[in-house]
Chain A
């Protein structure tokens, strides 16, 4: 596709359930980023992939959060045992090689009841 694609666009889950959020980056983009946008916290960096490896996981808020990327393309962000404070919009971005501009998807709005 033309842009970064994220699915689902909306996800409602019950507290304690696991969720998986998916990101399809722009074709040819080697770097991929996850951010979280919540009220009062602005946009927070979560994790960054270069190819399939994640050199920077410093932003993951707890060990309930994990992410993987396979084939240098699709990435999945997994949140285990969701809590109400996990409710937010999760944004994915990708970046082409040798260019410091990140292009964002429309995000997944996660609501934990």
Chain B
């Protein structure tokens, strides 16, 4: 069975600080996808990134970066120089292609960026 754990329920940082959101996953499959989604107060889940299990290269997109380490089954997300608009709930998720296609979500981390 697949499982995604986001140990940090809620984090508060002051604007311009860097913050890392942790994600640990479990699966016995060798082929899988990992995702991060952002849920702002409006409620819509916004897709941020997808990584496949064969690509451990870290990725940077503007102030966002992701660190994927298969050895520790982790897929952490870092926001550099945080801004108030980054305040949201962030979900880490896992899916196994060609099986049931559903996404298994972590419980989410609520991030507060304080001005």
Chain A positions near chain B (C-beta within 8 angstroms): 3, 31, 33, 35, 42-43, 45, 48, 56, 58-59, 89, 91, 93, 95, 100-107, 109
B28 interface contact, C-beta 8 A:
no
Nearest chain B CB to A36 CB, angstrom units: 11
A24 vs B59: C-alpha distance when bound (angstroms): 32
Nearest chain B CB to A52 CB, angstrom units: 16
Would B106 and A100 count as touching, CB distance under 8 A? no
Chain B contact surface mostly: loop
A18 vs B64: C-alpha distance when bound (angstroms): 43
Cross-chain pairs A/B with CB under 8 angstroms, 26 sampled: A3-B44, A31-B101, A33-B101, A42-B105, A42-B106, A43-B103, A43-B108, A45-B103, A48-B100, A56-B102, A58-B100, A59-B102, A91-B45, A95-B101, A100-B95, A100-B97, A101-B35, A101-B47, A102-B47, A102-B103, A103-B47, A104-B37, A104-B47, A105-B44, A107-B43, A107-B44
Chain B contact patch, size range: 20 to 34
Task: Select one of A59, A91, A100, A109 contacting B33, CB under 8 A.
Answer: A100
Given the complex, which residues of B lie within 8 Å of A102, measured CB to CB?
47, 103
Task: Select one of A42, A45, A95, A104 contacting B45, CB under 8 A.
Answer: A104
A22 vs B73: C-alpha distance when bound (angstroms): 37
Scan B83-115; emit 1 where CB is below 8 A from any A CB, else 0: 000000001000101001111111110000000
* Contact of A106 with B102 at beta-carbon distance under 8 Å, contacts A43-B91, A100-B95 already known: no
